[in-house]
Amino acid sequence: MNDETVVPTAKAKTEVTTVLMTDGRSVNFAGKRKVNKETVIDPSKIEIEGDVAQFAADAVSIRMDFRNGETRLIPLPLSLLARFAGHGGEQKFGDELASSAAEPMSEEDMVLAIDDLNAQIQAGNWGKGRATGGGGVSGASLVVQAIVEATGKDIATVKAYLQKKLDSDPALTRRALYDSFRVAGTKTGIIIKRLEDAKLAKTAKVDADAELERV
């Protein structure tokens, strides 16, 4: 019998290098990162009144800092501002659909993630980035479906409840909240297991019981 105790390997701390830029700023570069990018907005050059927004030249710029100390501040031309906004919007919503190969999102999960983000955007909230618990969640649509079935509430009410719960606790991630409803033995956990089994049965290519007789 092996009595050795396996000690989890501590995650290596990311090394940060501070570089003095040519404009006098000190910028941190994590790990082997060669360039940092950020959007620079000058609120004094933007006026919003009702549904009308006015932008002056240099209102929005992109700053790119390079590890060798070089920096570039790139003002976005007013003539291309709408296109840049559209491109950024595509990227923002596209990022919401990123998922790992181990936990892929279904089409239903993707639609739910986009609807959730859109609700936040339309309310004037940028939303959480994936690093801070934002982003779509694999299996989210089944969780919502299970809560609807367990409570008898409609989808809009359930989605509003989930978002309110997340908004009330900044430390609570969408993944952690949804996983709470997946716990085995809970009303929603039982429903989710049934829904997952039914979904898996539809994708079966052979009769597993019949195949056992042929092994």
Q: How far apart are CA 109 and CA 140, in angstroms?
A: 6
pLDDT per residue over 113-146, tens digit each? 888 888 889 888 887 655 444 556 778 889 999 9
Alpha carbon separation from 73 to 11, 40, 60, 79, 111 (Å, rounded): 35, 9, 10, 18, 36
pLDDT per residue over 174-194, tens digit each? 888 999 999 999 999 999 999
The pLDDT value given to residue 187: 95
Confidence of residue 199 (pLDDT cuts 50, 70, 90): confident
Query: CA neighbours within 13 Å on the CB side: how many for 170?
Result: 2
pLDDT per residue over 29-57, tens digit each? 999 999 999 999 999 999 999 989 999 99
The pLDDT value given to residue 1: 47
Residue 214 clears pLDDT 50, i.e. is over it: yes
The DSSP-derived string for 175-190 is HHHHHHTT-TTSHHHH
The pLDDT value given to residue 132: 47
Confidence of residue 4 (pLDDT cuts 50, 70, 90): low
Q: Who wins on pLDDT, 202 or 165?
A: 165
Identify the three-state secondary structure at position 107: helix
The pLDDT value given to residue 9: 60
Whose CA is closest to 135, among 111, 117, 160, 108?
Answer: 117
Whose CA is closest to 148, among 107, 108, 99, 203?
Answer: 108
Does this model's pTM top 0.75? My answer is no
pLDDT per residue over 80-116, tens digit each? 999 999 999 999 999 888 877 777 888 888 888 888 8
